[in-house]
Structure 1
Amino acid sequence: MRLLFLGDLVGKTGRNAVIERLPSLVDDHALDFVIVNGENAAGGFGITEEICQDVIDAGADVVTLGNHSWDQREALVFIERQDRLLRPVNYPKGTPGRGANLYNARNGARVLVMNVMGRIYMDALDDPFAAVERELDACPMGEVADAVVIDMHAEATSEKQAMGHFLDGRVSLVVGTHTHVPTADHQILAHGTAYMSDAGMCGDYDGVLGMDKEEPINRFLRKIPGARFQPATGEATICGVAVEVDLNTGLATHIAPLRLGPNLSETIPDFWN
């Protein structure tokens, strides 16, 4: 089974690039399941119902969120009726929406997707390790799910790596989001789980984490907030990670980064050919 995970969509340029190119990626490379992190899709902060639906219509099977989940207040309402939108599973009990769900892939496989947020330098949510463990107990790979994907939305690489090793052999993929810079540590861990510390972002890399350069530089120089951060509007680069999963085990057989666009070196997974 071929999985594709795309990193944080940042603003109009990032989401439009994905909406335009995702349909051909799905068709040309026979992708079975696609997950997109959309927490920065609406002007760099949160997601709207219209944007969420546009991304799903383009070929995303699931859209995940993170610390900007509620920046667009309408998300608190429409997430209840949109079962393909996930917020972090370790939000407190009673938070709208869901943090994990089981979906059917194009090839008929059952895929459990989970969104979880780290706690180091982030909002103090519930324990992410305990939250993931509870969801896996309820929907174990090989019994209920054929594959399991974890979007670990976190600041600290150490916390992401710890989650990868904690889940090694029990899930198909642990991939980090939030820092907007693709890492070079894509690998299959010792017991068969694919791992990457950060998938990067889908946005303009001629900026600061997808934002226009001027205001972030000003804040570093003067230590005084000026204007609101605005997404950079140059041509976007699409970044993510592709994984091939053996459905007999649920474990990964291949992993490779995907980068399409300017500023970064382009790469397409060789096992897609």
Structure 2
Amino acid sequence: MRLLFIGDVVGRSGRAAITQQVPLLRERWSLDFVVVNGENAAGGFGVTEPILEEFLAVGVDAVTLGNHAFDQREALMFIERQPRLIRPANYPAGTPGRGSSIVENARGARLLVINLLGRIFMDALDDPFATLERELAASPLGRTCDAVVIDVHAEATSEKSALALFADGRASLVVGTHTHVPSADHRILAGGAGFITDVGMTGDYNSVIGMEKDEPLRRFTRRIASGRFEPALGPATLCGVAVEIGPEGLARAIAPVRIGGLLSAAQPDFWA
């Protein structure tokens, strides 16, 4: 199975990279699944239903969220009718939407997608470890699904690493999101889970983590907000991670993906 996970899509620039590149990459690499973190897709804060539908229409199979999951208030309503939109599973009971979903492709392969929100330097939600244990027990790899991808939307690298080790042997890929900076530690853990601490963002890197520079610089230098954060509109770098998954549901190969924009290019050589 061939899986591509794409990191935090920021604003119009990031959305353009998704709509332009996903159809091409699906065909070029014969991808089975594409999962995208879209929690910054709508002006940098949350996602709208038209944006979600646009992503699904170009070949995205599932969209995960994070701490901005409900910044667009309409998400509280439409998330219930969108099974491929997945908010963090460790939100309290009764929160609209779902924290995991099994998506099936045209060939009948089933992918379990789980979204978690970290608690270190973040809003303190329910325990992500207990939540992950519950989700994995409910849909074991190899029984109810053929592969498992876990999006850990968290600030602390230690928390992401610990959750990856906690899921090792029971997941195909554990990918960190949120910091908008791609890390260089992609690897396969001892139990067979692919892991990267942060996949990076899909947005304009001539920015402050995807936002136009002026307002963040004013806040850092003057400590006073003088306007809204607005997404930078320059060419985006699509940042992701490519994973080859064996029939047992564990990772066989993992590589970073960086296409366009300012960052150095990277693509998997095992799909050449």
Deviations 1:181-227 (A, max 9, x none): 00000000011100000110000000000000111111111111111
What displacement does 1:48 show?
0.3
Distance in 2 between the 1:161 and 1:81 partners?
Answer: 33
> Secondary structure of the equivalent of 1:3?
strand
- Could you report, residue by residue, the CA deviation over 1:89-141 in whole angstroms, capped at 9, with x for unpaired residues? 00000000000011113432111100010000111100001001001111000
Structure 2: how far apart are the matches of 1:179 and 1:115?
16
* Equivalence for 2:267: 268
TM superposition shift of 1:40: 0.2
Partner of 2:89: 89
User: Over aligned residue pairs, what C-alpha RMSD do you find?
Assistant: 0.7
Q: 1:65-96: CA deviations, max 9, x gaps?
A: 00000110110000000001000000000000
Q: What's the counterpart of residue 141 of structure 1?
A: 141
Preserved contact between residue 90 and residue 125 of structure 1 (Cα < 8 Å): yes
Aligned to 1:4: 4
In structure 2, what residue type is equivalent to 1:65? L
Q: What is the CA-CA distance between 1:143 and the residue it aligns to?
A: 1.3
2:164 is matched by which residue type in structure 1? G
Alignment match, 2:55: 55
What corresponds to 2:239 in structure 1?
A: 239
TM-score, length basis structure 2: 0.99
Aligned counterpart, 2:100? 100
In 1, the alpha carbon distance for the partners of 2:56 and 2:135 equals 24
Cα separation, 1, equivalents of 2:202 and 2:244: 21
Letter in 2 for 1:216: P
TM-score by length of 1: 0.98
Q: Note if 1:154 corresponds to 2:147.
A: no
Aligned to 2:37: 37
What is the one-letter code of the residue matched to 1:120? I
SS of the aligned residue for 1:202 comes to: coil
- The residue type equivalent to 1:2 in the other structure is R
Over 6 Å off, 4+ runs: none
Distance 2:55 2:115 in 1: 17
CA offset at residue 262 of structure 1? 2.3
8 Å Cα contact 1:33/1:106 also seen in 2: no
Identity %: 62
| Partner Cα separation in structure 2 for residue 259 and residue 267 of structure 1 | 5
Instruction: Determine if contact 1:155/1:178 at 8 Å carries over to the other structure.
Output: yes
Unaligned ranges ≥5, structure 2: none
**Cα distance between partner residues in 1 of 2:20 and 2:106:** 20
For 1:80, the equivalent position in structure 2 comes to 80
